[in-house]
Structures are given as structure tokens and as C-alpha cells.
Amino acid sequence: MSEQSVYLSVVIPSYNEMKNLKRGVLEEVYEFLSKQEFTWEILLTDDGSTDGTVDVLAKFAQEHKEARLLANHHMGKGPTVSAGMLAALGEYRLFTDFDQSTPISEVLRAFSFLKEGYDIVIGSREASGAYRDEEPVLRHVMGRVFNIFVQILALRGIQDSQCGFKLFSAEATVKLFPALVVYGGQKTRKDAFTGAFDVELLFLARKWKYKVKEMGVSWKHNETDRISAARDSLRMLRDIMRIRKAWLLGKYNK
């Protein structure tokens, strides 16, 4: 599959996803894409899963010529997504959460903003037109408090930086993802901490004058035991301060 032949790359990061695999999420993504007139590919980028996920993904890739598997060591979501985005061939590249909390179908609405000249379209659970499922109260409250700090420290005007549904032009992808400092590199992790790599991406996008559109999306809560709202929010706030420090020290190389 040549670079010129791919319009959309769908990058799906995974880490111990057997529960979601049994729900048939990959089949749903594939079925949707199969109905589209544009050319596409699926990049399955795994973050060192230990529960058999990689074997299932490998089988899926073998059975579907449009899918590829990247089996990474456990680095965390940021480097794992980056690996997929930079290996992708598409003119446009979407990364979307494995559990499909925001359904792949929302990409069709995102395309309309690309036609208006935006370089990046980010899904948002808070922007106009969004519909969000209910989630645990503590997680929701911590998420809103975290976003207030994100707006103060890094991304004024962005209502939801953490929704796992973001579409980039190829040009923005190859400039932004290799430039990550706080969430770059290949350091092996021991936990499932997702972090604020979305904030670092959007912080750089703003600094480097890319046009970013925040688009309200449909979002469904899927229960997970990987997130500790209070602990992870504090760790992400620490990382946002590291992002600002890295910028002030001139560590970002465009």
C-alpha cells in the first residue's frame, strides 16, 4: 500500500484489551471503514500487552489486508500512539481509543473541518454538540478540575484536551510527534499511566501555529480500572509543568 493510495490511517493503541476485543470493537471499526469510498488502513499499535492481546491483534492483521500490527515494548500511551502515527501512510491520521468510547463514525464530521483549513481536529466531550455518557462523579469532577489547570497553564480555550479521538494532517503528524519531549522516547514503563501527552501535542500545535478545531463528539463511558482520578490528575499536572519548562528551555526542535 503506497503513501499516495491512503487517505485515512486509523491508529488504535492497545494495552491488555481482551475485554474490549471480546466486545468486537475491531470488527465494528473494520465494518464502518469498509463502507467508505475513501482509501484507508488500520494501524494496531500495542503497548507491550501481557494478556494475549497481541496474539489476537496479529490474527486480525493476518486476516485483514488493510490492517498492520506494531508490537512495541511497554512505553505508555504517548510513545505507543506516536509509533503508530509515524508508521502510518495516510494523508490524514486519526488516533482513537481502543474501547471506541467515541465511535469511529465521528471521523466523517471531522473531515468537514479539514476542508475548512484546519490541520488538527480534536474530539471533545465538552464542546458544543457533544453528547457524553454519565461517568463516576469523582472522575468527572477531577477531569474538570484538571482541565481548568490545563487551560491556565497550557491550552487556554480548549475545553477537553484528553478525549482519545484526534485527527491530524500528515504534515502536522510528522512535525509534532517526533518533537515530543515529556512523552517522547522509548523508556519502558511498569504501570498503565496514560499521562498528558495530548496536552504536549496541542501545546506544540498552538505554539507552532497549526489550526486546531475542537469538535463536540458522542462519548460513552466504559469502565476501567486503569485510571485513578486523583493520583493521575496530579501526575499529569506535574507533567504539564515539565512541558512548560521544556519550552522555556528551548528543548522543542521544530
In a domain, 197, yes or no: yes
Burial of 221 (0-12, 13-18, 19+ CB in 10 A): middle
At residue 25, the 3 state secondary structure works out as helix
In a domain, 15, yes or no: yes
In a domain, 28, yes or no: yes
Q: Collect all residues with Cβ–Cβ distance below 8 Å to 151 and sequence separation of at least 6.
A: 157, 158
Q: Which three cell numbers stand for residue 198?
A: 495530548
Write down the pTM of the prediction.
0.90
Q: Domain range for residue 99?
A: 3-248
- What stretches in the chain show pLDDT beneath 50? 1-3
Structural domain total, the chain: 1
CA–chain centroid gap for 58, Å, is: 21
Question: What was the pLDDT predicted at 96?
Answer: 98
The enclosing domain of 58 has a CATH number of: 3.90.550.10
Question: What was the pLDDT predicted at 220?
Answer: 87
- Percent of the chain past pLDDT 70, that is, above it, reads 87
In a domain, 253, yes or no: no
Instruction: Please work out, in degrees rounded to the nearest 5, the angle formed at the alpha carbon of residue 169 by the alpha carbons of 118 and 222.
Output: 90
Question: What was the pLDDT predicted at 3?
Answer: 47
Question: What was the pLDDT predicted at 2?
Answer: 47
In a domain, 254, yes or no: no
In a domain, 221, yes or no: yes
What is the distance between the alpha carbons of residues 70 and 50, in angstroms, rounded to a whole number? 15
